[in-house]
Every structure is written in C-alpha cells, then in structure tokens.
Chain A
Amino acid sequence: MGATILMPALSPTMTEGKLARWLKKEGDTVAAGDIIAEIETDKATMEVEAVDEGELTRILVPEGTEGVAVNSPIAEIDGGDGGAGTSASGPQEPVSNAIQAGGETAEVAKEAEDHAAVAAKGTEQRPETDAQPKAPAQEAEKDWGETKPITVREALRDAMAAEMRRDDKVFLMGEEVAQYQGAYKISQGLLDEFGPKRVIDTPITEHGFTGMAVGAAFTGLKPIVEFMTFNFSMQAIDQIVNSAAKTLYMSGGQLGCPIVFRGPNGAAARVAAQHSQCYASWYAHVPGLKVVAPWSAADAKGLLRAAIRDPNPVVFLENEILYGQTFECPTDEDFILPIGKAKVERAGKDVTIVAFSIEVGLAMQAAEKLAEQGIEAEVINLRTIRPLDTETIVASVKKTNRLVTVEEGWAFSGIGCEVAMQVIEHAFDYLDAPPVRVAGLDVPMPYAANLEKLALPTIDHVVDAAKRVTYKK
C-alpha cells in the first residue's frame, strides 16, 4: 500500500519552505528514521525523516523548489503497510494568511487582533465576568456563641493544632518551625505535641522545600508551608504559581494540590524595602490559587482551619504586627469560617471602606473619627482576596454610593484596583463619586523612621479619602 509524504511544518508558524535537497532518490529503500530530505525556512535548515519503511517510488517536488506549502505532497513511498496512510488522510488546511511583504508583522498584528476579539467575546459571554467560583452563599455569619480574648498568634497556632489533631495527613514545614518554636513563635508547642515527623525544620532553601511540599501534596498529603516572611516566597514563586496552582488544570482534574502557604506578609517595622511589601496582588492574579488575608484572631483561626481543609492551594497572608494583638474569638471547638466571604465589620450608610488584613483596623479607627464628624462609614473586611466577595462589596456600595479602598501595598495593579473595577462593572450607576484608593506610596519601603511612616497609609488618609468621596472636603 502506497503512502504520500507531505511537506512538514517544523514550527507552529511555518506555512511554506524550500525543499533544499533530496538525500534519497527514486528507487531507494528507506527505513523509519532515515533522513530523506532537507528543507529550509527563513529561520533554519531541517531534516525530514521517513516515518515508514518502503521504496521511495516517486519524488513529486524536485530539490531546489521554493515556496512549497506545508502539507502538500512531496514524495510517494510504497511498501509501508498502513502507518503512513494516515498522513495522507485529512491533512489540515495549511494556514495561508499574511505571507506577504512584512509577513511576520502582519501575522503578529492579525494574531493580536484575534486575541482582542477572543477577549471581547469572552467578556460578552460572561456578563458576570467572574472567572472565579461564586463565594459560598451564606446569609448572616453563624453565631458561634461564647468568645474569649486571644492573640492572633495563639489563634494561628490553635488552628494548626486543631487541624493536625483532626487529620494526620496535615503537617507543618518551614524554617525554624520546630525546635526553635517558630521565628515568630506561631508554631510554639507544636513540635512537643506532634513530633518531628509532622513539625519539620527545613534548611534555608525556599525554592527546594516549597517544590518538595507541592510534590507531597500531589500525593494527597496536606502540607502547611511556613515562609518566615512572604518576602522569601519569591524564591519559590515558580513552584506556587506554575506547579501548585496549575497542575489540576493541566492534568484535566487528576492532580489536586491541597496545600497552605502561610507566613507574615506586608510591612513590618523598620526592615526596609526587601522585607516590607504586600503580596496580595501578586498571588491574587493567579487562577488556581485562593488568597486569604485575616485581620482579627477569629479571622485567623477560622480561616486557617478552612484553608487547611481546602483541597486547593491557599496563600494565607498574615501580618507580623497583628500577631501580638488580642481579639475576641469563639471558643467553640468546631469554629471555622468560610473562604470567599467578606465580613461587614461596621455598618454605615454614607461610605463603603473596603480593607483587608491590618488595614481593617485602620479603617475601623477612621470610621470612629468619621462618625464624630457625622459620616457613617461601612467597613468591609475582605478576609479573602481570591475569590473576592464581590456580592458583599456591591451590596454595600449600592447602599452608600461611595467607595474607598485601603491597602498597604502599592496602588498600581493593587487589590483596590480590582475592588473598584468590580464596583464599576456591577454598580456604576450607583456611584455618586469616583472611588478613591488609599495605598502604600509607590516607592520601595524606606528604612528611616520618618520616611517609613510617610510611605504607609494612616487613619487620616482614610478619613480624608472618605470625606473626598462624600464631598465633605
């Protein structure tokens, strides 16, 4: 049975090429893997190998021919029993657009146009625009009854201990988490209770141990990876973004990655630019990740428990300055909070202030000051950055008609941008003023005490912003 050899494409963009040379002639016997011809494109010379064995009966395109279209027949082989037959059946239409003077450019432009069209179409098809899953529908937050004051530090430790007691697949690894009891003492006592098998000191090797934890999570174990601070997660960001977040998708749903990356995030005090920055925006950009940022002790405990139980990779952004702060926290042993649900910390009718992590405290204090001036602010504690609880934000803005966002990170491409955009998309007609972002200044964090203070949001910034959007200033 005869088979036709087609002009091959050797790169995704190749549409035609020159048949430079035949290395076999009519009547030659060829075996699979034999080089039979050389073809040239504008980029390279490549060899064509036979896929089937047989006799080269006919050469259809003489050597030296230029502009041979991809998938056009170039030779015939006799004797192959079937294999190559498929090569002749139903070759795809060669892509023939945009080859002219300046072809490359034209092609690129065309591609860009196509992308724009796809993007536009995508938006059209999705009036909701939420690539993210819906936040769990929950009316009012469950009343967990009795509370007692604990620090955020204790809340985090208690959450890990509770989940480790509940599920022996959960373990903690990171630098100084075991014998040293945690660089910030979050893991205090865990080594004593759970032993070195489940509370594991690692060398200072973020890229390596993060990859190792992700690999372990692929098998169904549930690692908690502590970064001494999130600044060091940048050493490992490839494993978080490319391995942890994407493998479920790339495996067609086969390989999940139940893992928590946690540690202090955001500005600490007087440690300068490399140790003071917010990663919320970095990680929130990535489909396949959940990003959580607790403020209070209750947030910390309830959300960390949920993060550990979640079958997906969760980036859990804590704050060093909050670790020692005390909040009321439910004592109920089953206490847990849903990921993806924001909390209205303070109700108000005049302006919506959206904040997360330590900035919620700032927003609450600003709200007190505003109240003294007759402005009732509604403060939303996001709790989860991704998936964002757009519903709660939009409902609030529909009531107050004004929006202020507060974050410690840089404003450019920050979380405030996303919050404001969601409001613009879903409640534009309700806005009585342009939203205002309060954020860290667009500079690397300075060391000097006075400059550092200037670089971060303050209560007065939030008060000013609220007055601007309510036209009181």
Chain B
Amino acid sequence: MVQGAEAATTKRRGKAKAPPAGREGLSQEQLLKAYRDMLLIRRFEEKAGQLYGMGLIGGFCHLYIGQEAVVVGMQLCLQPGDQVITSYRDHGHMLATGMEARGVMAELTGRSGGYSKGKGGSMHMFSREKGFYGGHGIVGAQVSLGAGLAFANMYNDNGNVCLTYYGDGAANQGQVFESYNLAAVFKLPVVFIIENNKYGMGTSAERASASKDRSKDGTPWGIPGEQVDGMDVEAVQAAGERAVAHCREGKGPYILEMKTYRYRGHSMSDPAKYRTREEVQKMREQHDCIETARKKLLDSGLPEAELKKIDDEVKRIVADSAEFAQTSPEPDESELWTDILLEAR
C-alpha cells in the first residue's frame, strides 16, 4: 500500500481542552487540512459510485457524500489510542482515521489488497492500527460494541475515548438505549454521535421517532447532549472538543446529534423519491461543508492556487486508489478457509 499521506489524522497531542469561549474555530492550517480530508472523502465516494455503476463494486454500497464534516471535525478532537466505530456507511470514517484510500477502495471491489482481504466488503472494514473498529452491518449493533470499546478504556485506565457513530434510524434500536444506560452506569468514556441525516433509509426521522431532539435522548440517564450543525466542520470540532473533554475527565458518556444530510440515496439502488430534488439542491447549494470551508479559506486570504494544489492531490489519490482497486488480484481461493478461528495456543 502507498504510504498514506492521504487523510492522515490530525491528532492533537497533550491534554484536550475545550477552546476558550468566543474563540471557536480552526486555524487556517487546521481548516485547510479539514478541507482536504473532506474533499478526499467526497471524491472517493464519487469514484466509488462510479465503480459501482461499472459493476466493479457489488452488493450494498452506502455513500457518505454530504456528511463529510462530521467525521473530519470529530477526528480533530482525538488522541492516539482513541477508537472509532460506526455502521455500514463507513468509507468516510475510515478515510478520516487515516486508513489508506487504496485499501478501502480495493475492499469495495473485493480484492486481496483490501483492508479485509476482500472478505468484508463495503460494510465491514477494520484497522486496529488506526483505531477503527468497523464497519458493522447490523443497524445499531455498533452502539453497544462502542460502549464495549469504551469499557476497555475504563478497564485499562488508558484515558482514551471511543467515538460511536450511528444514524437517526439506528437511534431507535433498543440496544442503543441499553447502551446509554450501561455507559451512564459505568461512566464509560464514549461519545455517542447521532448522524441525523433526516432519513432512515426511506423513512423520515419525523415519521420514525417521537423524539424530536435526539441530543436529549440520554436525559433519563443524565447524559448531556447537544445539537450540532453537522454541515460545518468548525462547529463539529468545537462540540467534539467539549464532548471528548467530558469523557476524558471521567464524567461518563456524551451525546452529539449532528444535523447533517446525505446527498445520495440510502444505498446505490435507492432512487430517493421520499424527498424532493429541491430539498437536496438547497442543502447542496447553501450548506455544503466543503464549499463552506473553501469560502472561509479564500476569505481568510488563502490563494486559490493552494486549494487547486489540494484538489489535484486528492484527485491523484482517488485515481490511484481506483486503479489499485481494479488491478489488485482477487483473494486466493485458499482465503475462503482462513480467519474463521484463531489457533489456540
């Protein structure tokens, strides 16, 4: 695999602190990095959609386009050893943790160069090295698993935090509420991040949940929460710092409801007829996270040529990953029988 210059995590070393009041926001350098990481996810997903269309990617394929600010903003709050876990809409999370585009794309095409040697596919990828614990296909299952990663942090007393992502659809699963209770009872260092993109597959959040403010879902257990503009990477990072600091101080879990939007259908085969084209266009034109960051960067005096350089770099990484994903061989047939059980020692 290529040395992953792409989307390498910006990890904040040392004590995490909430930014001082009135000075929320990223430095130009940080924002530029965030812009690059968001753009990488966008371009990567567009390419994945294209490869899907060509029949090179099979099965389910859930694109993250539109929601990039969430994972990129949250990743800015992490330290080495922190963990990330999410559902099946996971490509963005992987790239944000610094996993290599090549390995992710090759997994999508089911090749041996993929993160799971082609045996997991779009929904099931992992990187212990980057703290990414999947990639889970069962809606809501990752929430109790994430509580378990946080449990391990508590057990090992390592000061680490687990970011547990799930959608507004999963937020209705029983085990999510079980996990809120467990996390509160054991004071687990877990940030529950609800990516509310307004639709659980084709059912709008209004029709699926009587809870109108998901950030308050932890209220019965005393879990603090806040709603965040998930289309603004700076707002995400600022809220993320507060949440992560709360966890690191041993105060238990925290809920962030990210108000976000997916531009594409639930999966590739979803025509998304449950919402109007105007609604999608409005989000794209007025709230796009990448456009917003781009504008802020230009306004702060960054020369456009700098952005062009990043655009070119991202395009190169994505083209390279697509090339790799098509040339990496399929897994050897012997792989069918490996990784079922570990040898007992």
**Are both chains from one complex?**
yes
- Min distance, Cβ A4 to any Cβ of chain B, angstroms: 11
Q: B83: which A residues are within 8 A, CB to CB? A: 219
Establish whether residues A91 and B182, one from each chain, have CB atoms under 8 Å apart when the complex forms.
no
Query: Within the assembled complex, what's the spacing in Å between the Cα atoms of A247 and B65?
Result: 26
Are B148 and A216 interface neighbours, CB within 8 A? yes
In the bound complex, do residue B65 and residue A218 qualify as a contact, i.e. CB atoms below 8 Å apart?
no
**Residues in B lying within 8 Å of A, measured CB to CB:** 42-43, 46-47, 49-50, 52-56, 58-59, 65, 83, 85, 114-120, 124-128, 133-138, 141, 143-152, 155-156, 174-175, 178-179, 181-182, 185, 263, 265, 268-271, 273, 284, 315-316, 318-319, 322-323, 326, 337-345
Q: What are 11 residue pairs bridging A and B, where the CB atoms are less than 8 Å apart in the complex? A: A7-B53, A10-B53, A33-B263, A46-B271, A207-B178, A214-B145, A216-B148, A238-B138, A250-B119, A251-B126, A252-B118
- Interchain CB contact (< 8 A) of B46 among A49, A210, A213, A216: A49
In Å, the complex CA distance between A92 and B152 comes to 45
Q: Give chain A's interface secondary structure class.
A: loop
Return chain B residues, CB-CB under 8 Å to A218: 133, 145, 148-149
Query: Please, which residues of chain A bring their CB within 8 A of the CB of B128?
Result: 254-255
| B55 adjacent to A208 (CB under 8 Å) | no
List the A side residues contacting B43 at CB < 8 Å.
32
Q: Which of B115, B175, B268, B326 has the most CB of A within 10 A?
A: B175
A203 vs chain B, min Cβ distance (A): 6
Known: A46-B271, A205-B181, A249-B339. A9 touches B53 (CB 8 A): yes
Question: Could you tell me if A312 and B341 are in contact, using CB atoms closer than 8 angstroms?
Answer: yes
A-side contacts of B58, CB under 8 Å = 12
Report yes or no: B155 in contact with A208, Cβ–Cβ below 8 A: no
Interface presence of A373 (CB below 8 A): no
Looking at the assembled complex, report how far the CB atom of B161 sits from the nearest CB atom of chain A, in whole angstroms.
13
By beta carbon, the residue of chain B nearest A136 is B344
Instruction: Take A205-B178, A211-B175 as given contacts and tell me if A8 and B115 are in contact as well, using a CB distance cutoff of 8 Å.
Output: no
* CB of A48, distance to nearest CB on chain B (Å): 8
Closest to A12 in B: B58
A251, B124: Cα distance in complex, Å: 7
Contacts A208-B181, A216-B148, A253-B117 aside, 13 further interface pairs with beta carbons under 8 A come to: A6-B54, A9-B54, A32-B42, A33-B42, A47-B271, A51-B50, A70-B53, A197-B155, A203-B185, A211-B144, A254-B126, A306-B344, A309-B344
- Cross-interface CB contact of A70 among B55, B149, B182, B271, cutoff 8 Å: B55
Q: How far is the CA of A86 from the CA of B323 in the complex (A)?
A: 7
Cα of A197 to Cα of B155 in the assembled complex, Å: 7
B341 touches A248 (CB 8 A): yes
Asked if A140 lies at the interface with its beta carbon under 8 angstroms from chain B, I say: no
Q: With A82-B319, A202-B182 in contact, is A311–B342 under 8 Å at CB? A: yes
With a CB–CB cut-off of 8 A, which chain B residues contact A205? 178, 181-182
- B118 surroundings in chain A (CB, below 8 A): 252
| CB-defined contacts of A339 to chain B, threshold 8 Å | 344
Q: Is A242 within 8 A of B141, CB to CB?
A: yes
Verify A212–B315 contact, CB threshold 8 A.
no
Q: Judging by beta carbons under 8 Å apart, are A214 and B116 in contact?
A: no
Q: Are A92 and B54 in contact (CB under 8 A)?
A: yes
Contact B52 A9 (CB under 8 A): yes
In the complex, per-residue mask of A209-229: 1 if CB is within 8 Å of any chain B CB, else 0: 111111111111100000000
A82 contacts which chain B residues (CB < 8 A)?
315-316, 319
CB distance from A271 to the nearest CB of B (A): 25
Q: Size band of the A side of the interface?
A: 35 or more
Nearest-CB residue, chain B, relative to A211: B144
Task: Tell me, in angstroms, the Cα distance from A32 to B133 when the chains sit together.
Answer: 31
Chain B residues with Cβ below 8 Å from A211 are 141, 143-145, 147-148, 175, 179
Contact B271 A212 (CB under 8 A): no
Determine whether the beta carbon of B155 is less than 8 Å from that of A252. no
User: Which 9 A-B pairs give the minimum distances between C-beta atoms?
Assistant: A215-B148, A8-B53, A211-B144, A208-B178, A252-B117, A215-B145, A11-B269, A44-B271, A250-B124
B65 and A71 within 8 A (CB): no
B268–A10 CB distance below 8 A: yes
Does A87 make an interface contact (CB < 8 A)?
yes
Smallest distance from the beta carbon of A286 to chain B beta carbons, Å? Answer: 10
- A81 within 8 A of partner (CB): yes
How many inter-chain contacts with C-beta < 8 Å in the A-B complex? Answer: 226
CB-CB nearest in chain B for A249? B339
* Distance (whole angstroms) from the CB of B40 to the closest CB of chain A: 13
Contacts of B42 in A (CB 8 A): 32-33
Which residues of chain B come closer than 8 Å to A290, judged between CB atoms? Answer: 341
Is A147 engaged at the interface, CB distance under 8 Å to the other chain?
Answer: no
**A310 at the A/B interface (Cβ < 8 Å)?**
yes
Q: Is A94 an interface residue (CB 8 A)?
A: yes
Residues A86 and B319 in contact, CB atoms below 8 Å apart: yes
Q: In the docked arrangement, what's the CA distance between A309 and B59, Å?
A: 37
- Give the most central of A92, A219, A243, A247: most B CB within 10 Å: A219
Q: Closest approach, in angstroms, between the C-beta of B168 and any C-beta of chain A?
A: 20
Query: In the complex, what residue of chain B is closest to A254 when comparing beta carbons?
Result: B126
- A253: which B residues are within 8 A, CB to CB? 117, 338-339
Instruction: Decide yes or no whether A414 CB sits under 8 A from chain B.
Output: no
Partner of A243, one of B145, B155, B269: B145
Specify which chain A residues have a CB less than 8 angstroms from the CB of B344 in the assembled complex: 306, 309-312, 339
**A241-276 with Cβ < 8 A to chain B:** 242-243, 247-256
Residues of B within 8 A of A214 (CB): 144-145, 148
Give Cα A94 to B54, complex, Å: 9
Task: State whether B148 touches A249 (Cβ < 8 A).
Answer: no
Min Cβ gap A367→B in Å is 32
Residue of A nearest to B268 (CB): A10
A49: which B residues are within 8 A, CB to CB?
A: 46, 49
Is residue A45 contacting chain B, with contact meaning CB distance below 8 A? yes
| A256: B residues at CB distance < 8 A | 342
* Cα separation A55 to B54 with both chains bound (whole Å): 22
**Which of B116, B141, B268, B273 is A252 in contact with, Cβ under 8 Å?**
B116
Q: Within 8 Å CB of A6, what residues of B?
A: 53-54
Would A243 and B339 count as touching, CB distance under 8 A?
no
Identify which of B135, B145, B271, B322 gathers the most chain A CB atoms within 10 Å of its CB.
Answer: B145
Query: Would you call B319 and A83 a contact (CB within 8 A)?
Result: yes
Of the candidates A8, A12, A247, the one whose C-beta lies within 8 Å of that of B54 is A8
Query: B269 touching A10 by the CB < 8 A rule?
Result: yes
A239 at the interface (CB under 8 A from B): yes
In whole angstroms, what is the CA distance A239 to B140 when docked?
11
Q: Are A252 and B120 in contact (CB under 8 A)?
A: yes
Residues of A within 8 A of B174 (CB): 207
B268:A254 contact, CB within 8 angstroms? no
CA distance A212 to B59 in the complex (A): 29
- When chains A and B are docked, how far (Å) is the Cα of A291 from the Cα of B326? 40
The closest CB in chain A to the CB of B325 belongs to: A86
**Is A287's CB within 8 Å of the partner chain B?**
yes
**A-chain residues with CB within 8 Å of residue B263 when the two chains form the complex:** 33
Chain A residue nearest in CB terms to B65: A33
Q: Let me know if B59 and A215 touch, CB within 8 A.
A: no
Given A32-B43, A242-B138, residue A216 in contact with residue B54 (CB < 8 A): no
Bound Cα distance A312, B343 (Å): 8
CA distance A25 to B312 in the complex (A): 27
For A91, list chain B residues within 8 Å (CB).
54-55
In the complex, how many angstroms separate the beta carbon of B169 from the nearest chain A beta carbon?
16
- B55 near A251 with CB under 8 A, answer no
By beta carbon, the residue of chain B nearest A209 is: B182
> Could you tell me the distance between the alpha carbons of A221 and B56 in the complex, rounded to whole angstroms?
38
